[in-house]
């Protein structure tokens, strides 16, 4: 007798992906949907989509979704969670959104220990607006607004959000993962599960940063983009768990 | 049960909001409206509600967005500069059709301006301060009684139209203390919010959003919103006629400026100067057709504002009797009854 061992997660809508070839949003979406299914949360989840490529979350994930202004998703999620503490609330944000315009909202949501989960997709550029410099853009990386390569003397340094947010008392879990190899994808899924658990146990703010690709704006073939993530990107943005609160850690 | 209470205007707004079922308040301190977050922080949590002080007005309005999308009645309050920071969120809420009550106890601007009472935020409130073009009901209380009753009305209007609603006051109506009648709140709208994001148990998933990229979708959406604003203009115009029946001079003023004008009008009437007032209670929708009708039958229309003439533009747009319109403005302070009385005497030909 045949046994189905692999299929589409229930929470992933069966539509054609509009993302560019080689983009990792689809992988992150699948991990998200699988984790929602794993915990049986589909009917009690409210997602918050942000601005940029990530906004189309609501086309792919089969849950209720609110749309936030650029960078404000953690504040919108705060409003949802405070109104409905029994719901599972997550945001899905890009690096331009979370690490530039939305730094205030994410830092304060984390510092309040807001019981929300943030999935943060870092591809070192602004994707939807056409590949401009992001706060996470690597030194020397050429973008449409850093045509000579990012220069720290003029443009500052790439910001490390997973490390930064881990320093805050209200953060229960902060990890950086990648999705460029099957092994990394497995670890990424474990991290997302952990982040979900933090919220379900009301332990505070949780964030998982995904190192991701943007072959279109990087001007790379998808496989070369994978190599960049495995190489220079994970060198500057090391993978790992930066904070994991235990129940006993509470003040 | 109805009872008489003695309270500050800012606190009466809170009492009205809580009576209307508001259990969520988010805000950020700014003078001269701090009594509101202070009152809400003291009362909401004790009754099982939620008070949260945000890190900024930008965060505040987005807390509001999230709580409103959850189907709850929610309010914030601020003043000029803080309301400016909320404009982004207000535009998104208008686009996403989300109800909430926003209180602006305005101070004088532009910029940091001053903390003196002012009506300098009229344009921002009624002409849509954020991007893209939208409207919201704007209520202008002129007494503590109305701070209370219009707070309750604001929640009903917000829910009726799935739209933010604003209460536009100033430091005087906010800080003054007077007795008011605390009446029983009776809602005029259905409490059902089937569009709310409550998790998709037993129904298909749904979204609250303002992005429309498919062909013509944003045009369809904009016409839909426009029809809603037209309906507000047809159904929600509110105003007070004060001694207008036999008036030769019609004052047009709102909020504190109207409250002070009432005193000056009484003084003028004692001298036989036939003057009265049309007081818009809704600044959007503006009582345009009534104003035109009044303007046609009086000799002079005197617009009094605590700014340099913002509502004046709507008065002019409402009537063709432009030659009758006069203006008395004070951008950063309350006009005194004496000043208004002097102006009424002058306009009636009694001289200084």
- Residues A81, B64: C-beta atoms closer than 8 Å: no
- Residues B197, A46: C-beta atoms closer than 8 Å: yes
Comparing CB atoms, the residue among A67, A82, A88 nearest residue B210 is: A67
pLDDT reading at A214 higher than 70: yes
Residue B61 and residue A80: Cα distance in Å, rounded? 12
Instruction: For residue A209, give how far its alpha carbon lies from the nearest alpha carbon of chain B (Å).
Output: 22
Spatial CB neighbours of B176, under 8 Å, sequence gap ≥ 6: B8, B9, B144
pLDDT in tens, A47-95: 999 999 989 999 999 999 999 999 999 999 999 999 999 999 999 999 9
Residue B277 and residue B240: Cα distance in Å, rounded? 8
Q: Quick one: pLDDT at residue A189?
A: 98
B352 pLDDT band (50/70/90 cuts)? Answer: low
Kindly list the residues from chain A whose CB atom is less than 8 angstroms away from the CB atom of residue B72.
Answer: 83
Kindly list the residues from chain B whose CB atom is less than 8 angstroms away from the CB atom of residue A49.
Answer: 209
**Which H or E element spans position A197?**
helix A182-200
Residue found by looking up tokens 């991290």 in the block: A191
Residue B341 and residue B351: Cα distance in Å, rounded? 11
pLDDT reading at B296 higher than 80: yes
The percent helix, strand, coil of chain B (3-state, each to 5) is 40, 20, 35
pLDDT in tens, B202-260: 999 999 999 999 999 999 999 999 999 999 999 999 999 999 999 999 999 999 999 99
Taking CB atoms within 8 Å and a gap of at least 24, the contacts of B229-232 are B229/B134, B229/B135, B231/B161, B232/B135, B232/B137, B232/B157, B232/B161, B232/B284, B232/B285
- Residues B62, A83: C-beta atoms closer than 8 Å: no
- Residues A72, B70: C-beta atoms closer than 8 Å: no
Mean of the per-residue pLDDT values of chain A: 96
- Residues B58, A80: C-beta atoms closer than 8 Å: no
Mean of the per-residue pLDDT values of chain B: 97
Comparing CB atoms, the residue among A67, A75, A84 nearest residue B208 is: A67
Comparing CB atoms, the residue among B26, B66, B209 nearest residue A80 is: B66
**Is the ipTM beyond the 0.95 threshold?**
yes
Residues of A with CB under 8 A from a CB of B: 42-46, 48-49, 55, 58, 62-69, 72, 75-84, 87-88, 104-105, 108
Cβ pair A19, A25 in contact under 8 A: yes
Residue A31 and residue A189: Cα distance in Å, rounded? 6
Q: What's the average model confidence in pLDDT over B147-165? A: 98
Instruction: For residue A227, give how far its alpha carbon lies from the nearest alpha carbon of chain B (Å).
Output: 34
Q: What's the average model confidence in pLDDT over B28-39? A: 97
Comparing CB atoms, the residue among B69, B88, B201 nearest residue A44 is: B201
Q: What are the tokens at B128?
A: 């849509």
Q: Which of A10, A12, A13, A83 to mutate to test the interface with B (most CBs of B within 10 A)?
A: A83
Q: Quick one: pLDDT at residue A248?
A: 61
C-alpha dist (Å) from residue B334 to A214, A229, B117: 58, 63, 7
Residue B331 and residue B118: Cα distance in Å, rounded? 6
**Strand positions, DSSP E, chain B:** 3-8, 24-27, 50-53, 74-78, 100-108, 114-117, 138-139, 164-170, 177-182, 207-208, 239-242, 249-252, 275-280, 282-284, 300-305, 325-329
A250 pLDDT band (50/70/90 cuts)? Answer: low
Comparing CB atoms, the residue among A65, A79, A81 nearest residue B62 is: A79
- Residues B207, A66: C-beta atoms closer than 8 Å: yes
Q: How would you classify the pairing of strands B114-117 and A88-94?
A: unpaired
Phi, psi of B32, deg, nearest 5:
-110, 50
Q: Which of A48, A59, A76 to mutate to test the interface with B (most CBs of B within 10 A)?
A: A76
Q: Quick one: pLDDT at residue A2?
A: 87
**Which H or E element spans position B202?**
none
Residue B63 and residue B76: Cα distance in Å, rounded? 10
Peptide bond preceding B174: is omega within 30 degrees of 0, i.e. cis? no
A223 pLDDT band (50/70/90 cuts)? Answer: very high
pLDDT reading at B171 higher than 90: yes
pLDDT more than 70, % of chain B: 99
- Residues A76, B206: C-beta atoms closer than 8 Å: no
**Which H or E element spans position A126?**
strand A125-126
Q: Quick one: pLDDT at residue B156?
A: 98
Whole-prediction pTM: 0.97
Which residue in chain A has the smallest CA separation from B87? A69
pLDDT reading at B314 higher than 70: yes
**Which H or E element spans position A32?**
helix A25-38
pLDDT in tens, A82-132: 999 999 999 999 999 999 999 999 999 999 999 999 999 999 999 999 999
B351 pLDDT band (50/70/90 cuts)? Answer: low
Comparing CB atoms, the residue among A65, A75, A84 nearest residue B62 is: A75
CB neighbours of residue A212 within 10 Å: 25
Strands across the sheet containing B300-305: B239-242, B275-280, B249-252, B300-305, B325-329
Q: What's the average model confidence in pLDDT over B22-31? A: 98
- Residues B70, A83: C-beta atoms closer than 8 Å: yes
- Residues A80, B70: C-beta atoms closer than 8 Å: yes
How many CA atoms lie less than 13 Å away from A230 in the CB half-sphere?
Answer: 13
- Residues A44, B199: C-beta atoms closer than 8 Å: yes
- Residues A79, B74: C-beta atoms closer than 8 Å: yes
- Residues B209, A80: C-beta atoms closer than 8 Å: no
Q: What's the average model confidence in pLDDT over B126-133? A: 96
Cβ pair B94, B102 in contact under 8 A: no
What would you measure as the largest C-alpha separation in chain A, in angstroms?
A: 65
B297 pLDDT band (50/70/90 cuts)? Answer: very high
Instruction: For residue B51, give how far its alpha carbon lies from the nearest alpha carbon of chain A (Å).
Output: 9
- Residues A82, B199: C-beta atoms closer than 8 Å: no
B17 pLDDT band (50/70/90 cuts)? Answer: very high
Start-to-end CA distance of chain B, whole Å, equals: 50
**Strand positions, DSSP E, B158-274:** 164-170, 177-182, 207-208, 239-242, 249-252
- Residues B208, A55: C-beta atoms closer than 8 Å: no
Residue A142 and residue A131: Cα distance in Å, rounded? 9
What pairs with residue B7 in β-bridges? B178
- Residues A79, B198: C-beta atoms closer than 8 Å: no
Kindly list the residues from chain A whose CB atom is less than 8 angstroms away from the CB atom of residue B71.
Answer: 83
Q: What's the average model confidence in pLDDT over A205-220? A: 97
C-alpha dist (Å) from residue B252 to A204, B120, B235, B262: 54, 16, 21, 11
């Amino acid at each position: 007798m045949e046994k189905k061992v692999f299929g589409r997660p229930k929470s992933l809508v069966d539509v054609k992906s509009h993302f560019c070839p080689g983009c990792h949003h689809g992988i992150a979406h699948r991990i998200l949907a699988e984790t929602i299914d794993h915990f049986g949360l589909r009917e009690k989840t409210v997602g918050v989509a942000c601005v940029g490529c990530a906004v189309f979350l609501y086309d792919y994930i089969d849950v209720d979704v609110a749309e936030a202004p650029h960078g404000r998703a953690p504040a919108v999620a705060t409003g949802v969670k405070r109104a409905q503490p029994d719901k599972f609330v997550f945001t899905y944000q890009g690096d331009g959104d979370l690490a530039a315009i939305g730094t205030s909202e994410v830092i304060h949501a984390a510092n309040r220990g807001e019981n929300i989960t943030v999935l943060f997709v870092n591809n070192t550029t602004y994707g939807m607006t056409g590949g401009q410099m992001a706060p996470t853009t690597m030194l020397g990386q050429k973008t449409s607004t850093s045509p000579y390569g990012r220069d720290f003397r003029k443009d500052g340094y790439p910001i490390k959000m997973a490390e930064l947010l881990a320093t805050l008392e209200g953060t229960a879990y902060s990890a950086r993962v990648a999705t460029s190899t099957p092994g990394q994808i497995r670890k990424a899924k474990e991290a997302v599960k952990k982040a979900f658990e933090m919220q379900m146990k009301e332990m505070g703010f949780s964030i998982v940063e995904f190192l991701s690709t943007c072959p279109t704006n990087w001007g790379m073939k998808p496989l070369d983009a994978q190599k960049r993530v495995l190489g220079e990107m994970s060198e500057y943005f090391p993978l790992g768990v930066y904070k994991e609160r235990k129940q006993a850690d509470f003040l | 049960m109805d009872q008489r209470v003695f309270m500050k205007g800012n606190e009466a707004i809170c009492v009205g909001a809580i009576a209307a079922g508001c259990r969520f308040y988010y805000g950020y301190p700014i003078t001269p409206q701090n009594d509101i977050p202070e009152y809400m922080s003291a009362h909401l949590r004790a009754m099982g509600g939620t008070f949260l002080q945000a890190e900024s007005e930008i965060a505040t309005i987005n807390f509001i967005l999230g709580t409103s999308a959850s189907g709850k009645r929610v309010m914030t309050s601020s003043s000029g500069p803080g309301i400016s920071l909320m404009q982004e969120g207000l535009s998104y809420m208008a686009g996403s059709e989300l109800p909430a009550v926003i209180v602006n106890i305005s101070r004088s601007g532009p910029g940091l301006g001053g903390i003196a009472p002012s009506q300098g935020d009229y344009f921002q409130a009624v002409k849509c301060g954020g991007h893209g073009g939208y409207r919201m009901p704007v209520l202008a209380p002129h007494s503590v009684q109305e701070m209370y009753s219009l707070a309750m009305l604001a929640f009903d209007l917000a829910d009726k139209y799935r739209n933010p609603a604003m209460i536009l006051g100033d430091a005087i109506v906010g800080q003054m203390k007077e007795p008011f009648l605390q009446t029983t709140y009776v809602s005029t709208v259905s409490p059902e919010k089937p569009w709310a994001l409550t998790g998709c148990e037993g129904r298909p998933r749904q979204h609250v959003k303002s992005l429309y990229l498919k062909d013509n979708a944003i045009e369809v959406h904009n016409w839909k919103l426009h029809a809603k604003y037209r309906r507000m203009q047809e159904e929600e115009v509110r105003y007070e006629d004060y001694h207008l029946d036999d008036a030769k001079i019609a004052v047009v003023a709102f909020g504190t400026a109207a409250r002070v004008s009432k005193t000056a009008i009484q003084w003028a009437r004692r001298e036989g100067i036939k003057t009265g007032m049309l007081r818009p209670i809704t600044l959007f929708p503006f009582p345009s057709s009534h104003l035109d009708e009044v303007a046609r039958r009086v000799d002079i229309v005197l617009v009094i504002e605590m700014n340099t003439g913002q509502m004046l533009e709507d008065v002019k747009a409402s009537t063709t009797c432009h030659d009758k319109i006069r203006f008395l403005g004070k951008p950063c302070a309350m006009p005194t009854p004496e000043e208004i009385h002097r102006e009424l005497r002058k306009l009636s030909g009694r001289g200084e």
